[in-house]
Amino acid sequence: MSTGDAQDANSSSEEDFDWEEVDVPGQQEPELPQPYGELEVQLEAPKNIEITLPSARAKKGEGSKRQAGTGISHAERMTRVTCHKIHTVCMLANARVRNKWLNDETLQARLLSLVPMSLQDNLAIIHKSRVPERAKRGRMFESAVGRIATWWAETYFSVDRTGHIVNRTYEDVAREMAEAGNDEELYNRDDMEMIRSPKSLMKHLLMRRGSRDTSSQLFTALCRALDIPTRLVVSLQSVPWKTSSDKKKAPKKPSAKGKSKEKATNIEDESEDDEDMEPVDIPIPDIKGKGKAKATDEDEDAMKNNIKPRKGMSKPHVVKLRKSKSQQPRPPKPQASDPTTSPPVFWTEVFSRADSMWIAIDPIRGIIGKRQVFDPTPSSTSGQSKLPRRRDNIMLYVIALEEDGYGRDVTARYARDYTAKVAKVQGARASSGGRGRREWWERVIQVITRPYRLQRDDLEDDELRNHQLTEGMPTTLAGFKDHPLYVLSRHLKRDEVVDPPVELGKFRGDPVYARSSVVSLKTAENWMRQGRVIREGCQPMKMVKQRAMTIAKQREIEVAMERGHNGEEGEVLQGLYARNQTDLYKPPPIENGKVPKNDFGNIDLYVPSMLPPGGVHIPFKGVAKIARKLGFDFAEAVTGFEFRKRRAVPLIEGIVVSAENEAVIVEAFLAAEGDAEEKAKAKRLDQVHKRWVRLVQGLRIRQRLQAQYVDADNGIGGESAGTSIQVTIDQPQVRNLQRLPERGVYKGMKQPGGFLITADDVVEQHHLPKSRHRADPVQVDHVQETNGRAILMSESEVVSSEEPVPGVQLEDTVDVMGVDDLPNESRSGVPITMQALAEAAHAHKDISHAGPEELSSRAAVATVASGVSTPGSSAPTKKVSTRTARGKRKRASEGSDAESDKPKEDEPTPRKRRGEAAPAAATPPSGRVLRPRASKTASQLKEGKGIELAYRRAVAE
DNA sequence: CTGCCTGACTCTCCTTTGGCGTTT
DNA sequence: AAAACGCCTTTGGAGAGTCAGGCA
């Protein structure tokens, strides 16, 4: 069962494993990944498999890249902890399922029918009316239950030596999983007792035999049948995350190796004495496409000669699973504990109503009321067996499950040295230590905790707490570490001191103090950060070496050190003070509206109590500006620090001002904020509008270009083809656009030359020629080189820009951004200047108003233009453009003149021109600047520049 | 076997007042 | 021209925790 759970655990965290490559000499077989990094599997011959368990040392050597020194890597450790957690939860779930089965009515009825009446009568007579004394009732109850337990343990149920849950080391589980060819093999093991339902339990009940776990579970059900509040208690035997102590012994020593291999066989029973085992053939059933294994004598020789078969050593046909009996006496081998005499994993607690307490019962050994007998940790006093014992029962988590399915952690009741040891292993301190194991365990417990509390829960909590308090002083050094009650001076932290130093005892000569008298200290500066100052005349309780955390501080210390060298000492010390040596800091009051400031010109406000009397804290960003404008005295409030690059940066949160100025400042601030908001909103709208203008212009230009190229190419008028672009804007957007000029935000647009002020301009229909070419993706790359591409880019940029405009849709009939419609020239790589394109576009504009006769002549011009490759030459086209609107044309020519005056390279940077791009045709450069988007890369910027250049030229014409 | 110590690694806590280019 | 803004970027060392291995 535990194995199965472990597998779940591993498969769920498989990605954490480092997969190791495995040498497969002379084999074509696929490699078998070893998820545990523990095993090397060598396939010597198709039918044989050799398993070598690498020693810890060998592994360390080979895996130097993983980590030098430490045995396992961090990743592996995490994996192990995860496995442990998952396994623990699985074991708990298993126990809960069993607990639920114990409530089976039929099962309980059968149990009840088996209990001798005399035993039942003993219980029945305990009642207030008959036995008024509470204490006596308690004694009677205990003895009655005790008799039942004895009857159960000695007379009724006989316990098998196998089938119960045992703790396995991580390595063992890993090994078993690696060896089991499939799940079937893993789950259907002879040494595991399968309980699939309450019926299985009933079967064992009638057979009067089963594993010790079954015995305890049935006894628990029996108590419930007798109407006693009963808990099923389970000590979860989850796989430990630490490397087992076995492993230490594994390396090199033949005996240890033999032992490991024994385990590897997985054939003998856990608890069976296997002294007489002989080397065996293991027919391995096809491990994921692997061959079968057979043992031969060669390997045995290798073993005898103390040679460890290793990777690369050619030893075909070898499976040596264990060392045969050697000449030398083997060291005592860990013995599995006898399940009938050792502490169980499952047991029972019954609630004594008279005493209001839970009584522990071990139904296997027939022990009642002794909580100490369940901890399997060998105590130093008990010298039972000289033989090393296999650690097959580890007490770490003990859960008591009640009839209603809820459970409680009762580890403290049963574990010896709970506070000194177990609690630490469970998860060490909450803060650091156990890597969050404590938090994890608390979460797990939370899940099974009853959502409401009973009185007996409170009583039990008290009891458990008392157990911890009366546990006594730890007996080991480690036990004192982080102990809740005791502390040794060697474990005190840098900033801790014992005050008053009252010795509670001695531990190996060291004085032991009470944890409660440990006080933590702080430097004077740190107390200041808490809003406290050292009381006059107080001496530091401890001097420690000063630590430099910032460069400034480091310099300070260096200077002090130098001075110290000249003087006497080379170390800079600083004093630490206790809280009771400090007073609350009283800041100087505000007088005449004047706020006291520190050396940095601001005010320390780490805690609210540091606010000077007569002052208020206005914690708004930007309020300082307002206060300055209004002429009030104020100080910026430093509420903390931020650390970057070894430098402390103060966190400033608003200002502190005299209370009488608060209202004025806040009012002004809110007003200013409202203003700013308005402005920002207007700006946004402005930008949105500009983007639209840009889009539509782009589309127009594109349309013209298309018409132009189609004309040039085929001599067919663009109008004749039927596709069109239609941009529709729904009402709110139209309203916005219409409102803009009224607000005065868009005044410039009203001037001559500006166009597209209203929605009507935007929704104008454009008819584009139907495309006749299908661009293939490779050809598109050519386009990149041309300015035509640049235009497309600018369009797409407009469309995909960050402000989605609600209600706007491109109703499409053509692929607006597609390259399909690109004319042939651009695709065939003939350089076409933007100027030429623009001219063509203008020509087309006219065409749209002109008759069809004109088309061919325009097309001819365009053809000429398309041959012009230098950016500057625009002369021939001017003649062609015959615009109806005089103003527009005038503006346009002005713009182009202005531009032709100076070389293009000297133009302002694109982003500076971007803002005026839309009305560029109409207005002179305004000097307004928009910043580039932060995320743009250099190449993007360059591209953008090109686009802008092209765009400007196009529009200027 | 247990516990202590050591070494190697990892993790957490503590620290506590700029500089510079751009924009307004 | 000066003031204000905003971006830059996430330190590093001490101490404690964890673990394996060696030793008594």
What's the per-residue H, E or C state across A596-622? CCCCCCCEECCCHHHCCCCEEEECCCC
Which nucleotide, over all strands, has the C1' atom closest to the CA of A80? C19
Q: A672, A626 in Cβ contact below 8 A?
A: yes
Task: Determine if strand B comes within 7 Å of the CB of A76.
Answer: no
Give the residue among A906, A907, A908, A926 at the shortest CA–CA distance from A916: A926
Report the distance from CA of residue A633 to the C1' of nucleotide B18 in Å, as an integer: 25
Alpha carbons A29 and A932: distance in angstroms, whole number: 59
Q: Which residues contact A318 (CB under 8 A, 6 or more apart)?
A: A44, A48, A50, A295, A296, A298, A299, A302, A309
Low-confidence ranges of chain A (pLDDT < 70): 1-74, 77, 189, 242-336, 378-391, 427-437, 564-571, 711-957
Where does CATH 3.90.260.10 sit in chain A? 75-242+338-379+390-472
CA of A758 to C1' of B18 (A): 50
**Nucleotide whose C1' lies closest to the alpha carbon of residue A649:** B17
Instruction: For residue A621, give the nucleotide whose C1' atom is nearest its CA.
Output: C5
The Cα A87–Cα A83 span in angstroms is 6
Angle made by CA atoms A473, A479, A484, in degrees to the nearest 5? 70
Among candidate residues A771, A812, A948, A956, the one with its CA nearest the CA of residue A881: A956
H helix runs in A102-207, sequence order = 105-114, 117-124, 134-150, 170-179, 183-187, 198-207
Tokens representing residue A96 in the block: 């809960």
User: What digits encode the pLDDT tens for the residues A610-633?
Assistant: 999 999 998 888 888 888 888 888
CA angle A293, A11, A174 (to 5 degrees): 45
Chain B positions with an atom below 7 A of a protein C-beta are 1-5, 7-18, 22-24
Count helices and strands (H / E) in chain A: 33, 26
For A221, half-sphere exposure in the C-beta direction (CA atoms, 13 angstrom radius) is: 27
Residue A214 near residue A234 (C-beta atoms within 8 A):
no
Reading phi first (left if > 0) and then psi (alpha if -120 to 50, else beta), residue A42 is in: beta
Cα–Cα distance measured from residue A864 to residue A748, given in angstroms and rounded to the nearest whole number: 36
- Considering all nucleic acid strands, name the nucleotide whose C1' atom is nearest to the C-alpha of residue A493: C15
For chain A, what is the radius of gyration of the CA atoms?
44
Q: Where are the alpha helices (DSSP H) in A73-115?
A: 74-101, 105-114
In degrees rounded to 5, what are phi and psi of residue A266? 60, 25
Are the C-beta atoms of residues A420 and A482 closer than 8 Å to each other?
Answer: no
| Pairwise CA distance, residues A733 & A188, whole Å | 72
CA of A245 vs C1' of B11, distance in Å?
Answer: 25
Judged by DSSP in three states, A658 sits in strand
Q: In the structure, how far is the CA atom of residue A646 from the C1' atom of nucleotide C11, in angstroms? A: 5
Which H helix or E strand runs over A812? Answer: strand A808-812
Q: Which nucleotides of C are covered by protein (CB under 7 A)?
A: 4-5, 8-22
Whole-number pLDDT of residue A429: 43
The secondary element (H helix, E strand) that includes residue A437 is helix A437-448
Look at domain A75-242+338-379+390-472 and name its CATH class. Answer: alpha beta
Å separating the CA of residue A427 from the C1' of nucleotide C17: 12
SS3 A442: helix
Q: Which residue has the tokens 């520049």?
A: A945
- SS in 3 state form for A252-281? CCHHHHHHHHHHHHCCCCCCCCCCCCCCCC
Q: Which residue is nearest to nucleotide C3 (CA to C1')?
A: A625
Q: A586-703 domain in CATH 3.30.70.2460?
A: yes
What stretches of A715-833 show up as alpha helix (H) in DSSP?
Answer: 731-743, 759-762, 777-783, 787-800, 824-827
CB of A310 nearer than 7 A to strand B = no
In chain A, what are the helix, strand and coil shares in percent, each to the nearest 5? 45, 15, 40
> CA of A628 vs C1' of B4, distance in Å?
67
Give the CA-to-C1' distance from A26 to B14 in angstroms: 58
Q: Which DSSP helix (H) or strand (E) runs through A856?
A: helix A852-867
- What pLDDT is stored for residue A123 in this prediction? 92
Rounded CA-CA distance A624/A757 in Å is 40
Amino acid A444: pLDDT: 87
Determine if strand B comes within 7 Å of the CB of A731: no
Q: Please give the span between the terminal C-alpha atoms of chain A, in angstroms, as a whole number.
A: 84
Question: Which nucleotide's C1' atom has the smallest distance to the CA of A331?
Answer: B1
In chain A, residues under CATH classification 3.30.70.2460 are 586-703
> Residue A724: which residues within 8 A CB-CB, separation 6 or more?
A765, A766, A767, A768, A813, A814
Q: In DSSP terms, which residues pair with A542 in a beta bridge?
A: A576
State residue A358 phi and psi, 5-degree precision.
Answer: -90, 135
Q: Hey, what amino acid is at A139?
A: R
Q: Give residue A753's region: left, alpha or beta (phi > 0; psi -120 to 50).
A: left
Which amino acid type is present at position A422? V
Q: pTM of the prediction? A: 0.57
Per-residue pLDDT, A842: 60
Predicted confidence at residue A570, as pLDDT, reads: 54
CB neighbour list of residue A917: distance below 8 Å, 6 or more residues apart: A690, A694, A948, A951, A952, A955
Cis peptide before A500 (omega within 30 of 0): yes
